[in-house]
Amino acid sequence: MKELTPKQVEKKLENNDDMLELIDVREEEEVAQGKIPYITHIPLEQIPEKAEKLDKSKQYIMVCRSGRRSERAAAYLQKQGFDVANMVGGMLEWRGEIMN
């Protein structure tokens, strides 16, 4: 599975790539404390049911608090045929812009 550091993710976002989408798999209360701008929120337990609505032509980067839940989500989506990476270190390591 591909892994990206928060710094690498930030660089990818700066390139305004339309084929790149970030998915935050944290719980509602965690996301309410701050999230990466324009990220899609899908709690981890909803990933299997929401996966069918995702576009397989896009690249997805999974995000959570520390990188463990997003790693599980990325592994699941990879098995479903998605181009997916995990942001290691999660929001704990994110130094980019955050919105509430």
Catalytic residues: 64
Tell whether domain 2-93 is in CATH 3.40.250.10. Answer: yes
Q: Label residue 100 by pLDDT band (50, 70, 90).
A: confident
Domain boundaries, the chain: 2-93
pTM of the model: 0.95
What confidence score (pLDDT) does residue 15 get? 87
Let me know the angle formed at the C-alpha of 11 by 7 and 14, rounded to the nearest 5 degrees: 140
**Close Cβ partners of 75 (under 8 Å, ≥ 6 residues apart):** 1
Q: What is the pLDDT of residues 47-90, one digit of tens each?
A: 999 999 999 999 999 999 999 999 999 999 999 999 999 999 99
Q: Give the DSSP H or E segment for 78.
A: helix 68-79
